[in-house]
Amino acid sequence: MARKTATDDLLAPVTIAVGQEDLLLDRAVQEVVAAARAADADTDVRDLTPDALQPGTLAELTSPSLFAERKVVIVRNAQDLSADTIKDVKSYFGAPAEEITLVLLHAGGAKGKGLLDAARKVGAREVACPKMTKPADRLAFVRGEFRATGRSATPEACQALVDAIGSDLRELASACAQLVADIEGVIDESVVSRYYTGRAEASSFTVADRAVEGRAAEALEALRWAMSTGVAPVLITSALAQGVRSIGKLASAPRGARPGDLARDLGMPPWKIDRVRQQMRGWSADGVAAALTAIAEADAGVKGGGDDPEYALEKAVVAVARAARSRT
C-alpha cells in the first residue's frame, strides 16, 4: 500500500504523491477526491496534465469564488511542468486558498526535485507511491489488500496469488477484491489455485519450483504452457535464478538457526524458508554452481544471444532439474 508521511489530513492544502506506481498514484487522488466530496458533494475536481497548467492557470483555478465552493486541483506528472509554472506553484505554497486542495503527482527523481523540496518545506501531506519491482514488495501489497478489508489470507495464499498474477498491481488488487467478494472465511492456497489455476500453471515461478524440486517433466510442461500463454522468457530465467539462489543461500546458512533468524538474515518470509528447505534436499554445492551457469547461458540466449529462446529455456530447466538431484 502507499505510504503516507507528514499529516494524514486528506484535505490538507497540498498533497504530493511521489513515485511511479500508477495504481498507488490513482488511489492517492481518489482518496483526496472522496474526502472532499464527503465534505461537500458539489466539490469541483480539475484533473490537469502539465501542458494544461500554463503560467497563470493555477491562479485562475484557485481564485476566490462567490459561492465559496470546495475544489480539488490535480496536476499529473508535475516533474514536467515548465519553469514559469513551477514558480507559480511555489508561490501558491506560501498562501494556499481556503477550501481548495492541490494534489501534485510527481515521479520522484532529480527532475523537478525543487518543486518537491518546496512542497515538503511547507509541510505538504506526502504519499509515497514507489514502483514495486521486488516480489517481496508485491507480496506485502497483497497482504495489505486483504488486511484493509478485514479479511484473513494465509501466507501461502498470498504467495500463490503473486505467483499466479505476476507484477501488475492493478490485476493483483482486482484479484484480491474478487476473492474477498466471493469467499467466506480464511482465503487459503487451494482457493487461489481454484480461481487462478490457468494463470498459476503459466507462472514463471511454477516452472522454477518444479525445476528446483528435480521434477523435470512437470517443469517442462509448465514451461511450454507459460510460453504458449505469453509469459516473457526473461521472467522465467529470473524465477529460475531466484529459486536456485534461495537454495544456495539457505544451504550456506548456519545449521540449527531458527526460522525467524534465517528469514531476517536471508530476506525471506518464514514460510518460504520451510519451502526452500524441502526443495534443497537433493542439491549439492556443485549443483548450485552448475545450475546458475546454465541459467546465465539461457538468460543470454533469450536476450538476443541465441536463435531459439524456447530451446535455451528448455536446456536450462533440464539442467536445473538435474542439478536438483546432484547430491544423490
Whether the CB-CB separation of 55 and 85 falls below 8 Å is answered with yes
Neighbours of 204 (CB within 10 A): 24
Q: Are strands 3-5 and 125-129 parallel, antiparallel or unpaired?
A: antiparallel
The amino acid sitting at 191 is: V
The amino acid sitting at 178 is: Q
The string of pLDDT tens digits covering residues 270-303 is 667 778 888 888 999 999 999 999 999 999 988 8
The string of pLDDT tens digits covering residues 125-176 is 999 999 888 888 899 999 999 999 999 999 999 988 887 777 788 888 988 9
